[in-house]
Chains A and B, each alone.
Chain A
Amino acid sequence: MNQSLGTGTLHILNKAPGHPRFIACLSALSGQDSLVLIEDAVLALPDTDTALPEHTVALELDLDARGLSGAAKTDQKISHQQLVQLTEQHPRIISW
């Protein structure tokens, strides 16, 4: 997991690219925030129309399920255990 994850808000996003809330989430991120893509939101990784912020990770099992294990760098993939750790580290969490 990327050790340089941000110190701001943890945003957990489960909507596919193009969903109004997906678009709203990306435009609400601040510089120190971290983004976790889960469920349909992992489709943002291969999406050439989506520009993701620096601190972005994705649930590995959701990537695997969608045939996207090759679409993310190793340090972008997280397990559910690592998602729990991220929620430990971030007192402020928004589920989109």
Chain B
Amino acid sequence: MSTKLSYTLVITGAPWASQAPQTALAFARAAVSAGHRLDRVFLYGEGVHLASSLCAPPSDEPHWPQQWSDFLSDNQIPGVACVASALRRGLVDEREQNRYQLPAHNLRSPFEIAGLGEWVDGTLKSDRVLYFHGSA
């Protein structure tokens, strides 16, 4: 009955340093089940750690990067990590690995690396842009 909207979610808080990825995931699930469209999830600043494929929390603890990957894949929502934030923090895909001749790449599928233009696009085209910051 209510109008369906499009959202861009921006996560700037890192997993295990903040609650931001959890809150954003709960919001994203609720938004999708309400019939809204998520244009993208954009990871910025410390938030890029969510896209690491090398997080290995104890098996009896929730795995936020894994949960986010599954959610994005299941719902075919683009997940984008800001390239400048990611490179500084040691988060690279194969292309950046080759470009900077790094020993490994560690970007978790289905996340992609792109510039801030993706965020600007969200502010222009999405009906709502929500930010999930750390609380420190």
Q: Do chains A and B touch in the complex (CB under 8 A)?
A: yes
CB-based contact B26/A87 at 8 Å = no
Indicate which residue in A16, A19, A81 contacts B34 across the interface (CB closer than 8 Å).
Answer: A81
Docked complex Cα distance between A94 and B33 (Å): 23
Given contacts A14-B19, A39-B19, contact A84 B27 (CB under 8 A): yes
Tell me, in angstroms, the Cα distance from A81 to B33 when the chains sit together: 9
Chain B residues, Cβ within 8 Å of A95: 130-133
Number of A-B residue pairs at CB separation under 8 A: 56
Number of A positions contacting B (CB below 8 A): 23
The answer to whether A38 touches B23 (Cβ under 8 A) is: yes
Task: Name B's interface SS.
Answer: mixed
The residue from B3, B129, B135 contacting A39, defined by CB atoms under 8 A apart = B135
Q: In the assembled complex, which residues on chain A have CB atoms less than 8 Å from the CB atom of B2?
A: 85, 88
**B104, chain A: closest CB distance, angstroms:** 33
Contacts of A81 in B (CB 8 A): 30, 33-34
Decide: A14 and B30 in contact? CB cutoff 8 A. Answer: no
Which 9 residue pairs across A and B have the least CB separation, nearest first?
A: A95-B131, A80-B30, A80-B26, A84-B30, A40-B135, A39-B19, A81-B30, A14-B135, A84-B31
Chain A contacts to B: CB under 8 angstroms = 12, 14-16, 19, 38-41, 59, 61, 79-81, 83-85, 87-88, 91, 93, 95-96
18 residue pairs of the A-B complex, CB under 8 angstroms, read A12-B130, A14-B23, A14-B135, A16-B135, A38-B23, A39-B23, A39-B135, A40-B19, A59-B23, A61-B26, A79-B30, A80-B26, A84-B30, A84-B31, A91-B128, A95-B131, A95-B132, A96-B133
Known: A40-B19, A96-B133. 7 other contacts (CB 8 A): A15-B135, A39-B19, A39-B135, A83-B30, A88-B34, A88-B36, A95-B131
